[in-house]
Structure 1
Amino acid sequence: MFKFPQMDFEMAIWEMTSLLIAPKKVFKSIYYHPSQRDDGQKTKNTWHRPDPSFTYLLSFFLLLTALAWGLAYAPSFGAIVRLSLLFIFFHFIGSSLLVSTIGYFAIGRLFGPDGAAASLTGLRGGNGRRRGAAQGLFVQPGEKDQLEFGYCFDVSNRAFFPLYLHLYVVQFLLLPLLTRSPSNFLATFLGNTLYLSALTYYTYITFLGYNALPFLHNTELLLLPILAFAILWLVSLIAGWGIVAQGRSVEGLFWGA
């Protein structure tokens, strides 16, 4: 796990770039991963790529971001260390573990061959995917049609990167504008739209990750939260409620207050 020479950081950088301009390419490469690992002598049937370079690289970016936030808003060594730990181990690793755990136990059961979504018709991919085992705690040889926890964690990590750019980089740059008076419509609109875009992108990347698995059915249903986010965004604008301009909302997000 800590053998850096064996990590493909170039691939991780390519994935980060592709997540912004052509996210489907990222999971298409993961889709072909199992067949590429069959050398004729030993077949490793896994959808999970055992290379933590993406996680380490994004953690490094979060460390740099924490330094920027700390120096700008709480220039003390202790605060910067605390913020760095909060960004990496709570916001990133912690949330990814939580989301991937939920996905591991729920996605396979809901969207697998015997899941509730598999019986639905009229959605793209509803009848065209091959059938296989929905889920297993450990992947057994020859049982590649299983949802692996490692793959769920891969999806969560990659979905976090666009959210990181929205809420940790762009929000930091726009914070002087976004924290104006809550009555400022422009600040409210920009702040709420920023969060809408971040959550929409997170949901879409998550959908692409699970949609790449051929044994899951009707994964388009994973896009439904985007509709809820859009409704909440519209209601918040009508009510004049700004996410960022609520005083302690930013502190609560970034400082754990």
Structure 2
Amino acid sequence: MMKYSTSPTPSTSSYPRSTSPLPAPANYQPTTASAAVKRYKYLRRLFKFNQMDFEFAAWQMVYLFVAPQKVFRNFNYRKHTKSQFARDDPAFLVLLSVWLFLSSMFFALCIGLSSGQIALFVLFVVFVDFIGAGILVSTIFWYVSNKYLSVDGAGGDVEWGYAFDVHINAFFPPLSLLHCFQILLFHNLLSHSGFLACFVSNTFWLASIVYYLYITFLGYSNLPMIKNARAFLLPLPALFVLYVGTLLANWNLSHMLMDFYHYRVL
């Protein structure tokens, strides 16, 4: 029997971001499920691949590169149909985990790690760089947004699950740039000394961090209970100054990353 997706059909037309309420369907019933219940249902679905919408998750990954503002329209839709901003379908997390594993394996092979070092490298990337750092960053942004950026009387707090969703959305483009696209140029260009290698390498890093900050800004500006979401863009001027400084100092950030990865798996 053919399985039909329950996710809304993604629109490829342009539209302005709006925080105005969407009309609720006639059969809409607000949920009173606690955060623990929502988390339990989400984790339980991790083992039910036939219930995941991988096609829509893949669409989101593509649009995080070309038009990230469109991805968050679905979060508004979910709020008005399921009374939560956070994803209830773990398909995006599953696809991201697979992409993280494959890109890390490819990265480790390209920098010449042994089989034992590759296994250790992948464990570090998955459990420290992705899960550990993701939980830490999401928790910090969740706390800061609820403590300092919330609108009085707007009703409701930022969900931790949504903060984690914003993080993994913002994490995907930098992961692809630094673990996949950059490594394709590493042996032919980036591993060499000189200004050109430094410029290309550090530009990859600049683009990655700009992507992360911009998608994070989009995620929090999408919430009606958040004000001054532009605070997430405040590091951009300092980031550009730092970028210029690394070029003037001929400090190749890709070399630093490779040295760090080699040191970590020794």
For Structure 1 versus Structure 2, the TM-score category normalised by the shorter chain is 0.7 to 0.9
1:14-53 map, 5 Å: 14-37=59-82, 45-53=83-91
**1:159 aligned to 2:204?**
no
Partner of 2:240: 230
Partner of 2:182: 171
Partner of 1:126: none
In the TM superposition, residue 239 of structure 1 has moved relative to its aligned partner by 2.1
> Is the CA contact (8 Å cut-off) linking 1:210 and 1:216 kept in structure 2?
yes
> Is the CA contact (8 Å cut-off) linking 2:63 and 2:70 kept in structure 1?
yes
In the TM superposition, residue 48 of structure 1 has moved relative to its aligned partner by 0.9
Amino acid at match of 2:95: L
Amino acid at match of 1:146: D
**1:149 aligned to 2:194?**
no
Q: CA 1:51–1:111 in structure 2 vs 1: closer, same or farther (change >3 Å)?
A: same
> Is the CA contact (8 Å cut-off) linking 2:169 and 2:215 kept in structure 1?
yes
In the TM superposition, residue 255 of structure 1 has moved relative to its aligned partner by 6.2
Q: CA 1:53–1:71 in structure 2 vs 1: closer, same or farther (change >3 Å)?
A: same
Q: Which ranges in structure 2 are unaligned for 5 or more consecutive residues?
A: 1-42
Q: What percent of counterpart residues are identical?
A: 39
| Alignment TM-score, normalising by the size of structure 1 | 0.80
| Cα RMSD (Å) | 1.7
Q: Which ranges in structure 1 are unaligned for 5 or more consecutive residues?
A: 38-44, 115-130, 134-144
In the TM superposition, residue 71 of structure 1 has moved relative to its aligned partner by 2.7
1:46-125 map, 5 Å: 46-74=84-112, 76-114=114-152
Large movers: runs of 4+ above 6 Å = none
Distance in 2 of aligned mates of 1:71 and 1:191 = 19
In the TM superposition, residue 254 of structure 1 has moved relative to its aligned partner by 7.0
| Alignment TM-score, normalising by the size of structure 2 | 0.77
1:131-210 map, 5 Å: 131-133=153-155, 145-176=156-187, 177-181=189-193, 184-210=194-220
Aligned pairs, how many? Answer: 219
